Structure 1
Amino acid sequence: MPELFHRKLERSAIGFVIAIIAAASVGGIVEIAPLFTIDETVEEARDMRMYTPLELAGRNIYIREGCYACHSQMIRTLRDEVERYGPYSLAVESRYDRPMLWGSKRTGPDIARIGGKYSDVWHVAHLTNPRDVVPESNMPAYRWLARNRLKMEDLPQHLAVQRTLGVPYTDEMMENAARDAYGQATPDTDFAAGVTERYGEETQVSVFDGVTTHVTEMDALVAYLQVLGRLTGAAYEHTAAPEKKPDPGN
């Protein structure tokens, strides 16, 4: 019977088109309908901050080098993932990600919570030659990042594009983008204070690659890796175990 119905449907052009539209509509509704409740499903995070110019530059380098192809940035709610990587990812944590880098393929581990897990020195060593710190690693080396000076003069335009996409960078942030990128990687300069003033006291200001004479692509990428999972503490608050109330019977 199903075969007979399908055969008749295939012979009717109009009927077949209607069936295709109906099937596509069901799929579309399933994908689109949740967007109408997006304000209710995305968590609030009052402490959420934006990427600094240096971190944003590092994110662009991360994308440029194809790192997202091997590392996801989304921890599922599965117990083994939470125990290995930390609290599961919340939608609000990707609020300022344009584009988002959740991913699904894991040739390497998920790095959604790698920020602060290792030192700057570890990250530099890992990117220079992964086998020096992870002997079984099959990750390629990125030695040239320490030799490439970071291009900073176009950072205001990068922030402007992000603002067009909904990230609330201010005019002041865009005007000081290059100075802030330099200041975040050179703590002993006068520019460092401007970074924490505009992006918050929790912003990491550090000599990421160990060199103070200039800012490199290595500085930018390490700065980005060190902020992953630390733009907001919402995930830790959201998954914190509730306090155990005293039993009135005891």
Structure 2
Amino acid sequence: MSLFKHHVRIETNVLLLAVGTLITVSIGGLVEVAPLFSIESTIEKVDGVRPYSPLEQAGRDIFVREGCYNCHSQMIRPFKDEAERYGHYSLAAESKYDHPFQWGSKRTGPDLARVGGKYASDWHVRHLIDPRAVVPDSIMPGYPHLLRPLDYHDIGTRLRALRVVGVPYDDQAIADAARDLEAQATADPTASPPPVAARYPRLRLGRAVEAAADAPVTEMDALVAYLQVLGTMVDFSRIDPAPLRR
């Protein structure tokens, strides 16, 4: 009863309640934050994760510009039902070069964290132009305007800005950004890979939309290149899966 009386006194006194709340939040914050200072990084080191190529980064910028993240998340939660539907749960390392990350807050459409290589590029093109042509029940709007030429005059500047926030693009990658973008988009996948393939391993070469060799690179080429790289950088056969919760 005595303890209850003191509790009532705290709840009815604004100053005491504020001080008590501050102390409680401070203790909770220390418990959460303090252990992080004892580890080198909160992101595990995973082989294969690399910065996006210039073409992929341009496609990612279009993904953000068009608001695709409003309906499609890029984070598979560590639950059995999610892993069975989408694949291996997402690793923190996979998002370390994402600015901003595309985890999303809901899924009107399916998660895209493992969409790379799941469909052919021409499937993505048809889906983006007219979603119901390949998914009859889709409520996704069409994006035929992505067939217009891609404006990438500032792609080197974009890579330089990303380097400021920690993405490890070197001076040569920034200087060659426009040439690398064109080389990836216009390369013949059946021929010897261009130098850009050595700089960005697991690179998908070629256009999304069949076109003449001298045709301009399109926004569709860039967006599909980005979609096709999602989930393909890490060899998950070499990752020990933790127990998944139902």
TM norm structure 2: 0.87
CA 1:6–1:140 in structure 2 vs 1: closer, same or farther (change >3 Å)? farther
User: Aligned partner of 1:171: which letter?
Assistant: D
Q: What CA distance in whole angstroms lies between the structure 1 residues aligned with 2:67 and 2:31?
A: 31
- Alpha-carbon displacement from aligned partner over 1:170-208 (angstroms, at most 9, x marks no partner): 100000111111111101599x713113213x2111111
8 Å contact kept, 1:47–1:232: yes
8 Å contact kept, 1:49–1:232: no
8 Å contact kept, 2:49–2:233: yes
Which of residues 205, 217, 220 is equivalent to 1:218? 220
User: Aligned partner of 1:221: which letter?
Assistant: L
Per the alignment, residue 125 of structure 1 pairs with: 126
8 Å contact kept, 2:188–2:205: no
Residue 7 of structure 1: CA displacement?
A: 4.1
Residue 41 of structure 1: CA displacement?
A: 5.2
Per the alignment, residue 232 of structure 1 pairs with: 234
User: Aligned partner of 1:226: which letter?
Assistant: Q
CA 1:30–1:124 in structure 2 vs 1: closer, same or farther (change >3 Å)? farther
Residue 72 of structure 1: CA displacement?
A: 1.0
Per the alignment, residue 205 of structure 2 pairs with: 205
User: Aligned partner of 2:208: which letter?
Assistant: F
Q: What CA distance in whole angstroms lies between the structure 1 residues aligned with 2:140 and 2:38?
A: 40
Per the alignment, residue 88 of structure 2 pairs with: 87
Per the alignment, residue 107 of structure 1 pairs with: 108
User: Aligned partner of 2:140: which letter?
Assistant: M
Q: How does 1:103-182 map to 2 (within 5 A)?
A: 103-147=104-148, 149-182=149-182
User: Aligned partner of 1:184: which letter?
Assistant: Q
Per the alignment, residue 248 of structure 1 pairs with: none
Q: Alignment RMSD, CA only?
A: 2.4
Runs of at least 5 residues in structure 1 that lack an aligned partner in the other structure? 242-250
User: Aligned partner of 2:227: which letter?
Assistant: L
User: Aligned partner of 1:65: which letter?
Assistant: E
TM norm structure 1: 0.86
Residue 124 of structure 1: CA displacement?
A: 0.4
Runs of at least 5 residues in structure 2 that lack an aligned partner in the other structure? none
8 Å contact kept, 2:55–2:225: yes
CA 1:32–1:226 in structure 2 vs 1: closer, same or farther (change >3 Å)? same
Q: What CA distance in whole angstroms lies between the structure 2 residues aligned with 1:165 and 1:46?
A: 21
Q: What CA distance in whole angstroms lies between the structure 2 residues aligned with 1:133 and 1:182?
A: 29
Overall identity of the aligned pairs, in %: 50
